[in-house]
Amino acid sequence: MTESRAYKPRHAARPGGEYNYPVPAARPRVKRRRRGLRTALCAILALAVGAGAWLGLIWLPEYRAELAEKIRRAEWAMEEARHPFAYRGLVESAASSQGLDPALVAAVILNESSFDPRAESRLGARGLMQLMPDTAEWVAGKLKEPFDLDALYDPATNIRFGCWFMGYLTRKFGGDPVKVAAGYHAGGGQVEAWLNNPEYTQGGELTVIPFGDTDRYVRKVMNAYEVYQKHYYPEPEVVPADAGA
């Protein structure tokens, strides 16, 4: 018979028979706050590295040129969107019959009605080119046509009458677009009075427009005129004769 071995505990017993088992050391708990902070720092570091790489690309000549071209195209598209050209065929036809630059006619329409054929002012001006009834009736008489007030809402009629009136002002003021625009807004007689006043002229040119609303109107028309010329009637590029040599 095999001798039985008494069980000997590995740890000494405390007085009273309780054994003193070693208590494992507590594992340190990782705080979520520290983990979140570490994640945030990594994200910031990644952004900094990405931003540094992006800024480095900007300084590359080819990237700068590409970026500048994209900005130029965006600005061009925005400018053209602010200067629409509805009824272009009607404008070009009527302008041609009166020897007018269609870009100037478009600039007048933009400032008069924003190309709304049903526009009507509080003073009674109507249609695309905001013709007053008495002015439109006078033009109809010059054209030997019957006058119909409601016809001013018709784009073709309104543009034809408006271009005739602009042609009249153009012949009256020697084709000066500033005087034509001022006359369209304030009346040809008023512009003649300004031209006869040395306070407002210099060398035959209208240098001061004393009516604030007319002055602002003329400035807006001239700015729009330049944009319409640039976008819709650009001058052809002149190529030097020796360019292909």
Together in a domain, 176 and 121: yes
Q: Quick check: is 93 in a domain? A: yes
Q: Does residue 176 sit within a domain?
A: yes
Residue 58 lies in a domain: yes
Query: Which of 205, 199, 196 minimizes the C-alpha distance to 175?
Result: 205
- Assess whether 101 and 147 both reside in one domain: yes
Q: What is the largest CA-CA distance in the chain?
A: 145
Indicate the residue among 81, 96, 120 that finishes a domain: 81
DSSP secondary structure, 20-88, as one string: -PPPPPPPPPPPHHHHHHHHHHHHHHHHHHHHHHHHHHHTSHHHHHHHHHHHHHHHHHHHHHTS--TTH
pLDDT digits (tens, 9 = 90+) for 66-102: 778 888 888 889 999 999 999 999 999 999 999 999 9
Q: Last residue of some domain: 20, 50, 81?
A: 81
Residue 202, in any domain of the structure:
yes
Query: Exposed (0-12), middle (13-18) or buried (19+): which is 192, by Cβ within 10 Å?
Result: middle
Same domain (yes/no): 222, 127? yes
Q: Is residue 11 part of a domain?
A: no
Q: Are 171 and 181 in contact (CB under 8 A)?
A: no
In a domain? residue 67: yes
Same domain, 93 and 77: no
Same domain, 143 and 179: yes
The CATH number assigned to the domain holding 155 equals 1.10.530.10
DSSP codes, 165-222: HHHHHHHHTTT-HHHHHHHHHH-HHHHHHHHT-TTTEETTEE-----HHHHHHHHHHH
Domain span including residue 165:
88-231
> Which residues, given as ranges, of the chain have pLDDT below 50?
2-4, 7-13, 17-24, 30, 245
Q: Which residues are catalytic?
A: 112
Asked whether residue 60 falls in the same domain as residue 95, the answer is no
In a domain, residue 244? The reply is no
What integer pLDDT is reported at residue 40 of this predicted model? 65
Same domain, 98 and 219: yes
Number of domains the chain contains? 2
This prediction's pTM: 0.73
Question: How far from 42 is each of 52, 151, 164, 176, CA to CA, in Å?
Answer: 15, 71, 71, 66
pLDDT of residue 59: 60
Q: Is residue 4 part of a domain?
A: no
In a shared domain, residues 94 and 193: yes
Q: What does the block give as tokens for 130?
A: 């905001």
Rounded Cα distance between 140 and 154, Å, is 14
Domain shared by 117 and 210, yes or no: yes
Same domain flag for 72 and 148: no
Are 205 and 220 within 8 A, CB to CB? no
**214 and 150 in one domain?**
yes
